[in-house]
Amino acid sequence: QQQVKQSPQSLIVQKGGISIINCAYENTAFDYFPWYQQFPGKGPALLIAIRPDVSEKKEGRFTISFNKSAKQFSLHIMDSQPGDSATYFCAASMGGGADGLTFGKGTHLIIQP
C-alpha cells in the first residue's frame, strides 16, 4: 500500500517562531506533493504544493522544502501566528490528480500567543 509518513503528530510553537512538519514517501512514482490545512469542523483546504523538479517553493510565510533523493518533503511556517493553529496534512499524488492521492495522518499545530 502506498504510504506517506508524517511527523510530528502534534506540535506546539511560540508565536513568531518557525513551525516545521515533515513527511516521507515510498513510491517514486509520486510526482505532486500538496499540503492541506484543516480547521476544526471544516474540510481541508489546499495550502501549497510542489513538484519534484524543484527543491523549494515559497508562498508568503509558507515554504515547502523537497529532497528527492531522500524521498522527504517538509512544510515550514515562518513567523507562526495563532491563526495558523490547525491540522496540517501532507499528501502525495501521481499525475497531479486526486486519483491516487495519498494523505499523511496529520499534524495538530498549536501556536501559543
Q: Residue 80 or 88: which CB sits closer to other proteins?
A: 88
Q: How far is the CB of 82 from other proteins (least distance, A)?
A: 22
Least distance CB 41 / other proteins (angstroms):
7
What DSSP line would sit under the chain, residue for residue? ---EEEE-SEEEEETTS-EEEEEEE--TT--BEEEEEE-TTS--EEEEEE-TT-SEEEETTEEEEEETTTTEEEEEESS--GGG-EEEEEEEBSTTSSTT-EE---EEEEEE-
Q: Give 80 or 107: the residue with its C-beta nearer to other proteins.
A: 107
Minimum CB separation of residue 96 from other proteins in Å reads: 5
Contact of 3 with 102, CB cutoff 8 Å: yes
Which residues of the shown chain bind other proteins in the complex (CB under 8 A)?
A: 6, 32, 34, 41-46, 49, 89, 91, 93, 95-106
Smallest gap from residue 90 Cβ to other proteins (A): 9
> Is the Cβ of residue 46 or residue 78 nearer to other proteins in the bound state?
46
